[in-house]
Amino acid sequence: MRSTRWIAPVVGVAGFLVLWELWVTVFDVPRFELPAPFDIVDHLLDDPGFYFENALVTAKEAMLGLAIAFVLALATASLVVHVPFLEGAAQPLVVLVQVTPIIAYAPAVVIWLGAGVRPILVITAAVCFAPFYFNAITGLRSVDPSALELLQSVDARKREIYWRLRLPSSLPLLFAAGRIAIALSLVGAVLGEFFALVDEGLGAAIKKAQAFNDVDQLWGSIFALALTGSLLVLALGAIERAVLRWHPSVRPALDPPRSLR
């Protein structure tokens, strides 16, 4: 049964593309307005190197920004779960960064830091921070109360409780945040490229395509972004399955207890 799980998603995507193709063909939509999906794929395959190189640039920016956000968010969350005052102090700042539309302050970041990759990383890290931060706080707190009491019964240090109980307990939520952050990191990277006056990356390619009305390159870049995002999510899923082998979300009740074997 397990080996056929991929069928439904593939049918879903293929069905969507076929409907799109039919729509364009039946209503005779001009190619410069909305190209048919198979034309876009054709175009992608004409020059795969161009899209691969630009996707690599954008993916690197996205992952680097995401990593910065992850490290900062986990460090901050680890601090504030032990110092409630700091949590109260940080709360409005994190919410402000989260609710202010990134597209509004992206130009300001570019003016501040200048053109290039630095503002892109800052913008990407800014959009990824909140999901990591809030999930880390919840995760670090969501420990088994009995296990916590057990460690306290031998007077374990806060540091020992953090490394042995809090951090591992937070991993499932951190991975959940990671899935959200991957999508956001691509938003941040593409948006950063729009404003940061760079030549490379799929965001830059989209901007150029729009300027020259190059619908093929526009849609080629969009498809390449979709593929990049999907691959990143799949990679994260593989890491999650490896790291969280012990967690019920990874192997839901596949193995009977040994006592029943």
Partner 1 sequence: MPPPTDPVAAVAAPLISLTDVSKTFQGRRGDTVALAHVNLEVGSGELVSLIGPSGCGKSTLLRVVGGLLGADGAVTVAGSPPGSARAGKQFGLVPQTPALLPWRTVRANVRLLTEVNRGAEAHTVLSAADTDELLAEVGLGEVLDAHPRELSGGMQQRVALVRAFALGAPILLMDEPFAALDEITRDEMRYLLLRLWERTGSTVLFVTHSIEEAVVLSDRVAVMSPRPGRITAVEPVTLPRPRTAEIEDTVEFLGHVSRIRHALRDGMGR
Residues 238-257 that bind partner 1 (CB under 8 A): 245-248, 255, 257
Verify binding: residue 53, partner 1, rule CB under 8 A.
Answer: no
Q: Which is nearer to partner 1, 26 or 154 (CB)?
A: 154
The minimum distance between CB 261 and partner 1, in angstroms, equals 9
The minimum distance between CB 242 and partner 1, in angstroms, equals 12
Dmax (CA) of the chain: 75
Q: Fill in the per-residue mask, 122 to 161: x = in contact with partner 1 (CB under 8 A), - = not in contact.
A: ----------------------x-xx-xxxxxxxxx--xx
Verify binding: residue 176, partner 1, rule CB under 8 A.
Answer: no
Q: Which is nearer to partner 1, 3 or 259 (CB)?
A: 259
Q: Which is nearer to partner 1, 234 or 239 (CB)?
A: 239
Contact status, residue 200 vs residue 61, Cβ threshold 8 Å: no
Paired tokens of 36: 């048919």
Verify binding: residue 259, partner 1, rule CB under 8 A.
Answer: yes
Q: Which is nearer to partner 1, 97 or 171 (CB)?
A: 171
Total number of residues that touch partner 1 (CB under 8 A) = 27
Q: Which residues contact 112 (CB under 8 A, 6 or more apart)?
A: 119
**Measured between alpha carbons, how far is residue 177 from residues 73, 130, 221, 259 in Å?**
11, 9, 26, 36
Q: Which is nearer to partner 1, 119 or 172 (CB)?
A: 172
The minimum distance between CB 256 and partner 1, in angstroms, equals 9
Long-range contacts at 239-246 (CB < 8 A, ≥ 24 apart): 240/175, 240/178, 243/171, 243/175, 244/171, 244/172, 244/175
Q: Nearest 5°: phi and psi at 253?
A: 50, 40
Nearest to 201 by CA among 69, 51, 63, 44: 51
Q: Nearest 5°: phi and psi at 249?
A: -70, -20
Interface ranges with partner 1 (CB under 8 A): 144, 146-147, 149-157, 160-161, 164-165, 168, 171, 245-248, 255, 257-260
